[in-house]
Amino acid sequence: MSFVDTLRQWDDGVTCADKQDFSEALRILLAIPEPNSKICFNIGCLHLLNQNLDDAEKAFDCSIRKDEHLAVAFFQRGITFYKKMRYEESIGDFQRAFKTLRGNNLIDYKALGLRYILYACEVLHNMALAEAQLGNWEKAEQNLRKALDYKTDAKLSVIEKAQQAVLKEKLFKLVEFPSKMMFKPNKHYVAELEKKDYLGKAKVVASVNPQDDFSGFAPLQPQVEDGPLSPREPEVLRALEGEPHTVLFEFVPETCDELAVKPGNMVFVLQKGADNWAYVIFNGRTGLVPYNYLEPDGTLRQTQQSVVLIINASLIIRFPFKSKVPDSLYIVKVHFTFTFAVSIPRESSYEVLIRKISKKVKLPSDNISLSLDSSGQRAIDANTDMETVWSQVRAGRITLWCKEKKETHKVALHSYQSANPEDLNFKEGDEITVLARINQDWLEGRCNGSTGIFPASFVK
C-alpha cells in the first residue's frame, strides 16, 4: 500500500472513531497492510474498548516493537496486563513507561497527533496499585511517595487519596488512558490527499533542438560558441544525473532531512528507497520527499549543449550541460545511506576529500569511514597513499563507499538540563556515547542509562 493510501485509510479510521463508530474504525485500521506504531496503538485502544484484551495486548506489542520509545504504548499495555490480572508484567510495563519519560514530569503527545498528556505521577500511581494487588504494600507506598516528587497541582488529590488507601491496605482506582483518543495523521499530509495541479504539467514549447515541437512562441536562439560548456555548480551536474519528476502535492517537512516542495515544482530524483521515500534535489537543495507525491516527467529535453524547460510558458530553466568532466576536477560518487556526488580538485589529499564528504553527510570527519569497496576492506584513511586511490579514476570519475562509525564517545563540557522528554540530561564531565547525528547542531546519545538528544556544542 502506498504512503498516500495508508494516510487516507488511517484518516478514515480516526474519523469513524471520532463519530463513535468504533467497529468500523477497527475494521478500517486492521485492513492497513503495514501499520506504523501509532496505527497499531490506535488498534490496541479500540480492542481495549471492546474488552478484547488478548488482541489489545498483541496490538500494543506491535506498537512497541515499531517504536520502543513510545511511553504511552507501554502505559497502555501495562493497563491491559493489569486488567488480565498479570500484575507483575503490568508493573514491568509501568516501569518501562516511567523510564521512557527520562525523569520528566510529563510527555505531551499533541505534537505527535495525540491529544493526551502522560504524567509520570500517574504511571507511578498505577505501578503502586499493581504492587498493592500483589500484597506489596510497602513498595506501593514507596511508589506513591515517589509520585509526589513528580506531581502537578491537578494530580495531587489523586495521589493523596491513593496514599490514604495504602495506609489502610485498601485498593484504589486505576488511572486509565481514555481509549477513545487516537493518534491522528499529520494534518498537512491529510490536507494534500487530493491531487492539486496549480501550474499544469511541464512541457517543452521552445528549444534549441530543432526536432522539438512547439507552437505559439519564437524558438530560442542557440547558445553562443564561447558560452559555458560545463556546469558552474556541482549541484547542477547532480540534477542532470537524476530523473526529472513533477511534484503533485505540497509536502511540508517535519525533520531536517526532508525537503519542502509544492505542486508543479520540478525535482530531480537522485535515489528512490525501498521505503517509498525519494532523495531529490530542488533549487540547489537536497532532501527526502515521499515518492508518491511525484510523477515522472518525460518532457525534459536534453542536448549536449543545454537543457531548456518551460513550465506554462512563464518559467524558463536552462542548464548548461556537458558530459565530460573538467580536466581540473574529479567527480566522486559516494554510496552512503543515500547516494550523492561531489567534485574535488584532481589529486586532492585525504583531508580535502574527507572534509568535502563529511560536509555532505553532515557528520564530523572522524565519525565516518571511507573505502574503495562496499565491504570496507579497502579502507581509505589519513595513512592511505592517495595516488593508489586516484589510480582507480576512470574518465574523471570514481566511486567510494562511506559509513558512519557507531558509538563514538564524547565528554560533556557543560551540564545540560532540559524539560523536553526527548532530550538527554547530563552533568559536566560525564562521558556520552554518541549514537547518531540529528543535524549540524544536535546529536543523539546515551548517558547514565538514558537516551536522548543534546546540543553538539556541549561536548568534545
In CATH, what number is assigned to the domain containing residue 445? 2.30.30.40
pLDDT of residue 189: 65
Query: pLDDT tens across 385-422, in order?
Result: 888 899 888 888 889 988 887 667 889 998 898 877 77
The answer to whether 102 touches 448, Cβ cutoff 8 Å, is no
| pTM (whole model) above 0.75 | no
Q: Same domain, yes or no, for 31 and 163?
A: yes
- Per-residue pLDDT, 229: 44
Domain of residue 62 covers 3-167
Among the listed residues 417, 421, 459, the one whose alpha carbon sits nearest the alpha carbon of residue 442: 459
Q: Which of 27, 117, 105, 6 shows the shortest CA–CA distance to 72? A: 117
Same-domain check for residues 26 and 139: yes
Count the Cβ atoms, other than its own, within 10 Å of residue 314: 7
* pLDDT for the residue numbered 321: 41
**Residues 91, 58 share a domain:** yes
* Domain-embedded: residue 186: no
Burial of residue 304, with CB atoms counted within 10 A of its CB: 0-12 exposed, 13-18 middle, 19 or more buried: exposed
Residues 301, 227 within the same domain:
yes
Same domain, 7 and 137: yes
Residues of the chain predicted below pLDDT 70 = 1-2, 187-241, 254-256, 273-275, 297-326, 406-407, 436-440
Asked which of 291, 320, 349 is the last residue of a domain, the reply is: 320
Shared domain check, 254 and 278: yes
Residues in the chain: 460
User: CA 236 to CA 352: how far, in whole Å?
Assistant: 21
Whether 131 and 78 share a structural domain: yes
Q: Could you say which of 288, 320, 352 is where a domain stops?
A: 320
Let me know if 92 is exposed, middle or buried by CB neighbors in 10 A (0-12, 13-18, 19+): middle
- The CATH number of residue 21's host domain is 1.25.40.10
Same-domain status, 81 and 21? yes
The three three-digit cell numbers of residue 265, written as one number: 515544482
Q: What is the DSSP string of 403-445?
A: EEPP-EEEEBSS-B--S-TTB--B-TT-EEEEEEE-SSSEEEE
Residue 172 lies in a domain: no
Out of 404, 422, 440, a domain closes at: 404
Give per-residue pLDDT as tens, 158-187. 888 999 999 999 999 999 998 788 998 876
* pLDDT, tens digit, 9 for 90 and up, residues 304-358: 334 444 333 334 344 444 445 667 788 888 888 777 778 888 888 888 898 888 8
On whether both 420 and 377 belong to a single domain, the answer is no
Say how many domains are in the chain.
4
What pLDDT score does 51 carry?
92
- The reply to whether 313 and 375 lie within a common domain is no
Mode of pairing for the β-strands spanning 397-404 and 329-335: parallel
| Other beta carbons less than 10 A from residue 360's beta carbon | 15
Looking at the fold, whether 289 and 385 belong to one and the same domain comes out as no
